[in-house]
Amino acid sequence: MSEVQADAEVVPTGPEPEYPALAPRQVTLRDRVTVATLVPFASADDVPRPLLKYLSDQFNKEIEKGDTYAMSEPIPLAQFGRYWFSSFGVVMLLGDIESAEQTHSMDRAGANWTKICLGGFHIRPNYPGRSSHVCNGTFIVTDAARNKGVGRLMGESYLEWSPRLGYTYAVFNLVYESNVASCRLWDSLGFKRIGRVPGGGQLKSQPGEYVDAIIYGRTLSLDGEDSVSQDRFEKIRYYLKHSKYPRGADRAEKSRLRSAATHYKLTGGEDGEPERLMLKDKEVVSDPQQQYEIAQEVHLKQHAGINKTTAAIAIKFHWVRIKETVNRVIRDCPQCKETLKLPPIPGTKEEDSSPSVEASDVPDHSMEVDHSKQAIEITQEMDEAPDESP
């Protein structure tokens, strides 16, 4: 996956920030069965040496490919430890891991980190001093973790932990436009394209050419708009399926899950039928790739604009920010790109149905309102449920 931070500097500037201790975060991979844990480490010294070396090797391997990171030279192991863990570093590992100390027991028992380590990320100030509340991050997905939804889960954890560390805004300085998977991920997680660096990258895969880079930004909040995220849906699914709370759930989250159980239900899962999480009569789709494919399939039937495509999807499916997914699909649609080159004739049907590629231009009275209102009401009920013991 994707480096989303362009600074090649390995030695941080200014004093080290002091962060609160955060507990490991358990998640479920895309197969909805495999359990993994995002483990925060206070420093590189707390990471088992073989695990640190494997993560460093994977990072340098991606640098040498020359298509993702701004760095052109590998980072020596001694410097990698400081680079990754000087502020706030996280490693994602297979299994239910209760603490960073447990990784040393695993290492002594002969853990094969090439199979256990799925990736990692770090969070650090993007600027010094008076702007140090703006953060930045670097992400790596290892060879053992491709196509398992690891990047999305780490991105969601980044958004959950960053504000808890005191940051109010996140900036990714350089995301190469050719890194389609990374761009789709940050688009789907609510990041805005706040700038562009024309010809910002010289990539190995495109010798002699300069690739544009996108600057992403996003406001961070402890109770922001992502309260219903992929991870939240997976926790609801887990609670409904196993009739027990996910590990690490606090009293407030337990209360929200109990409330959610009155609105959601599981169907299928037997005789080869896929298991579905349903909200009323709509299927909940938490995987961003599946969201994109559904939106693309619906759009390609008529090449309608954002409003009509969103309304058609919302009849059968539910996920957060459907309209933004549709916006990306229309922006990527070759036929719509050609259509948009020709100005519509005023007063004609073509003018009314011409697809738009900017979600911000869409009026709020679209048919998505009913769908969004339903999601907001249920989200609010989950967040306002009484904080009581189970």
Contact 255, 385 (CB under 8 A): yes
Last residue of some domain: 189, 205, 222?
Answer: 222
> Could you give the CA distance from residue 85 to residue 90 in angstroms, rounded to a whole number?
8
> 206 and 117: one domain?
yes
> What's residue 107's pLDDT?
97
> Could you give the CA distance from residue 278 to residue 281 in angstroms, rounded to a whole number?
6
Contact 86, 16 (CB under 8 A): yes
Q: How confident is the model at residue 89 (pLDDT cuts 50, 70, 90)?
A: very high
Q: Is the pLDDT assigned to residue 135 strictly greater than 70?
A: yes
Q: Is the pLDDT assigned to residue 129 strictly greater than 50?
A: yes
> What's residue 242's pLDDT?
87
Establish if 271 belongs to a structural domain.
yes
> Could you give the CA distance from residue 273 to residue 209 in angstroms, rounded to a whole number?
48
Three-state DSSP class for residue 267? strand
Name the residue range of residue 267's domain.
Answer: 227-384
Between these two residues, 18 and 363, which has the higher pLDDT value? 18
> What's residue 229's pLDDT?
59
> Could you give the CA distance from residue 333 to residue 317 in angstroms, rounded to a whole number?
21
Q: What is the CATH number of the domain that holds 39?
A: 3.40.630.30
Contact 233, 284 (CB under 8 A): yes
> 316 and 181: one domain?
no
> 237 and 215: one domain?
no
> 126 and 253: one domain?
no
State what percent of residues in the chain have pLDDT above 90.
Answer: 52
Between these two residues, 84 and 233, which has the higher pLDDT value? 84
> 213 and 262: one domain?
no
> What's residue 150's pLDDT?
94
> 152 and 44: one domain?
yes
**How many structural domains is the chain composed of?**
2
Q: How confident is the model at residue 230 (pLDDT cuts 50, 70, 90)?
A: low
Establish if 357 belongs to a structural domain.
yes
> What's residue 13's pLDDT?
44
Establish if 389 belongs to a structural domain.
no
Last residue of some domain: 205, 222, 239?
Answer: 222
- Per-position DSSP letters for 239-250, written without gaps between them: HHHHSSPPTT--
> What's residue 273's pLDDT?
83
Establish if 342 belongs to a structural domain.
yes
Q: Is the pLDDT assigned to residue 301 strictly greater than 80?
A: yes
Between these two residues, 203 and 328, which has the higher pLDDT value? 203
> 263 and 336: one domain?
yes
> 187 and 311: one domain?
no
Indicate the residue type of 197. V
* Dihedral Cα 331, 334, 339, 342, nearest 10 deg: 90
How many whole angstroms from its chain centre is CA 384? 25
> What's residue 19's pLDDT?
62
> 207 and 250: one domain?
no
Q: What is the CATH number of the domain that holds 364?
A: 1.10.340.70
> 209 and 296: one domain?
no
Last residue of some domain: 222, 249, 274?
Answer: 222
What's this model's pTM, rounded to 2 decimal places?
Answer: 0.66
Q: Is the pLDDT assigned to residue 357 strictly greater than 50?
A: no
Establish if 5 belongs to a structural domain.
no
Establish if 11 belongs to a structural domain.
no
Angstrom distances, CA of residue 293 to CA of 52, 190, 276: 37, 18, 17
Establish if 340 belongs to a structural domain.
yes
> 85 and 152: one domain?
yes
Establish if 7 belongs to a structural domain.
no
> What's residue 10's pLDDT?
39
Average pLDDT, the chain: 81
Q: Name the DSSP class of 33.
A: S
- CA-CA-CA-CA torsion sign (380, 383, 388, 389): positive
Average pLDDT over residues 23-32: 86
Q: How confident is the model at residue 3 (pLDDT cuts 50, 70, 90)?
A: very low
> 187 and 86: one domain?
yes
> Could you give the CA distance from residue 304 to residue 312 in angstroms, rounded to a whole number?
10
